[in-house]
Amino acid sequence: MVGLTRPQGGQSFAMRGGGRDSWSGQIAFVLAAAASAVGLGNLWRFPYLAARYGGGVFIAVYLILSLTLGAALLVTEIAIGRYSRQSQLTAFRALGHGRWNFLGVMATVVPLFILPYYNVIGGWVVRYFASYAGVIAGSSPGAETQGFFDAFVADPWSPFVCMAVFTAVASAVVALGVRKGIEKANVVLMPALLAITVALAIYVAALPGAGAGIKFYLVPDFSSCGSVGKVVLAAMGQMFYSLSLAMGIMITYGSYMRRGDSIPGASVRIVAADTFMAVLAGFMIIPLAVAFAGAEGGARPAVDAGPGLMFATLPKIFASLGAAGRWLGFTFFSLVLFAALTSAISMTEACVASVCDFFGIRRRPSVAAVLAWTVAVGSLSAFGYGRWSSARLFGLPMLEFFDSSMNVLTPVVAALTCVFAGWVLGPKRILAECRRESSRGIGGAFAASYAFMVRFVAPVLVAAILASEICRTFGFGGWSI
Ligand code: PHE
């Protein structure tokens, strides 16, 4: 048995104040982590990447990567959280004896800067949801009309107000606490999310012409996917984002996990749930886009519209379906809203818990501080296409600037986390935490492959994503995905 000394320093408020919050059990933990993982990345980003990188080719690469590398990284983050019983800001300091303080800071900066602009996008979803609800209730057509998106983001106040509403709801859930807030919200939202996705996928599969879309999505197309390196990089970047890695979320959520619950078992379930939802989303989005947007220049450009797919292409498709399309739009944007909300809740929690643990303050004042920060920084992005559209950094609107910077910072945090787990804390410690107070042991093959993965494979692969992101950000072409 590996020696398990208690981590030094950084005792959290909750620990001093008599017991940290915890999930009610393994299922609640898996549900919470899956709720964080399933978000815009699954519903919109996975389908369009699959369309861009050869359909089945991308799906196969993604499955292999997420079940190996993704699961190993999840195990690492959850174990760091449960072992230290702290959120990321103080966990690295405690486990690294102060020298790894900087990594905790970096892993906190990431969600602190992603949350504000994620909530701006969450606000866009609120606007679309409200618009479809209005259309169904009989008011004038909204989101499905041409130019709606451009007019909305350029409006002086709307994007800000919608972001504030979305932020308030996520913050309210977090203010209620781990069990009474986050857990309860997930128990309602996650089954709803699954049911809506399955229903929409079945509905779309039954539409005329859907078969061609399903073929386009599933059949490997080696001629269009580009080099192997590009597919692997794209799949890996997507996997990080989709599993909410390198943002302190899984460390924070792990810190609420009970000892005795299996970390590898939970990780595999989280990966499976996240991947299932991503693949299912493809069955809903791709046939729809292929069947109805073919007229506008073929299947590939329609699905490959990137961010525009969700807010411009899909509403156009819904509009072409008449009354059924309105219901489809309403149901689809309820789904997106739930998914975005549960992800925003997890990011808010990672920030709130870090503030609590670092300053030793209670949950509610910490939520208030994070809320104020989110609205203040989020306003830069919310006003960024309207009243403050002249404010640009490196030529980019604020939202895109934050997004690009975080795309570079996330792999740095991920790579350093692997180095920390593989070489500082050591795979033995992580594995010992995995089987702590559990009746089931860890197999030798699992232990050996985990150690190899976290020490060698993960840092090298993550460094490759980083190089690609840097190339893309600074425009060196060729290498970037
Ligand atoms: N994992 C989420 C998704 O797939 C995105 C996310 C990013 C969630 C950052 C939390 C934090 O969309």
- pLDDT for 2 equals 37
Give the DSSP letter string of 166-185: HHHHHHHHHHT-IIIIIIHH
Distance 355 CA to ligand 1 centre (A): 20
- b (16+ CB within 10 A) / e for 221-260: beeebbeeebbbbbbbbbbbbbbbbbbbbbbbbbbbbeee
- pLDDT for 15 equals 40
Distance 274 CA to ligand 1 centre (A): 11
What is the distance between the alpha carbons of residues 315 and 102, in angstroms, rounded to a whole number? 44
Residues 89 and 248 sit within 8 Å (Cβ to Cβ): yes
Pocket flag, ligand 1, residue 343 (CB < 6 Å): yes
Ligand 1, atom 8, lies closest to the CA of 343
What token pair was written down for 25?
């059990």
Q: What pLDDT digit, counting tens, does each position of 259-281 carry?
A: 989 999 999 999 999 999 999 99
- pLDDT for 431 equals 93
What is the distance between the alpha carbons of residues 101 and 86, in angstroms, rounded to a whole number? 13
What is the distance between the alpha carbons of residues 134 and 233, in angstroms, rounded to a whole number? 41
Pocket flag, ligand 1, residue 247 (CB < 6 Å): yes
**Which stretch of DSSP H or E encloses residue 474?**
none
Distance 38 CA to ligand 1 centre (A): 7
- pLDDT for 464 equals 82
Pocket flag, ligand 1, residue 375 (CB < 6 Å): no
Coil, helix or strand at residue 392: strand
**Which stretch of DSSP H or E encloses residue 354?**
helix 322-359
Give which of 307, 328, 301, 249 is closest to 41, Cα–Cα.
Answer: 307
Query: What is the mean pLDDT, run by run of 10 residues, along the chain of 481 residues?
Result: 40 47 94 95 88 91 93 95 96 91 96 94 94 85 80 91 98 96 95 93 88 89 78 86 94 95 94 96 88 58 67 85 89 94 97 96 97 96 84 80 81 92 94 79 82 92 80 58 38
Distance 245 CA to ligand 1 centre (A): 8
Pocket flag, ligand 1, residue 346 (CB < 6 Å): yes
- pLDDT for 294 equals 59
- pLDDT for 7 equals 46
Pocket flag, ligand 1, residue 36 (CB < 6 Å): yes
Distance 244 CA to ligand 1 centre (A): 5
Give burial (CB, 10 Å; 0-12/13-18/19+) of 155: middle
- pLDDT for 386 equals 81
Which residue shows structure tokens 């909204």? Answer: 142
What is the distance between the alpha carbons of residues 247 and 107, in angstroms, rounded to a whole number? 5
- pLDDT for 191 equals 93
- pLDDT for 376 equals 96
- pLDDT for 267 equals 95
What token pair was written down for 278?
């991503």
Distance 360 CA to ligand 1 centre (A): 27
Atom of ligand 1 nearest to the CA of 244: 1
Q: Around Cβ 331, how many Cβ atoms within 10 Å?
A: 17
- For the entire predicted model, the pTM comes to 0.89
Give which of 305, 242, 205 is closest to 42, Cα–Cα.
Answer: 242
What is the distance between the alpha carbons of residues 336 and 179, in angstroms, rounded to a whole number? 24
Ligand 1, atom 7, lies closest to the CA of 244
What is the distance between the alpha carbons of residues 360 and 389, in angstroms, rounded to a whole number? 39
Distance 249 CA to ligand 1 centre (A): 10
What is the distance between the alpha carbons of residues 54 and 56, in angstroms, rounded to a whole number? 6
What is the distance between the alpha carbons of residues 210 and 232, in angstroms, rounded to a whole number? 28
Pocket flag, ligand 1, residue 39 (CB < 6 Å): yes
- Name the residue of 45, 241, 335 whose CB sits within 8 Å of the most ligand 1 atoms, as the mutation to test its pocket: 241
- Name the residue of 114, 244, 348 whose CB sits within 8 Å of the most ligand 1 atoms, as the mutation to test its pocket: 244
Pocket flag, ligand 1, residue 278 (CB < 6 Å): no
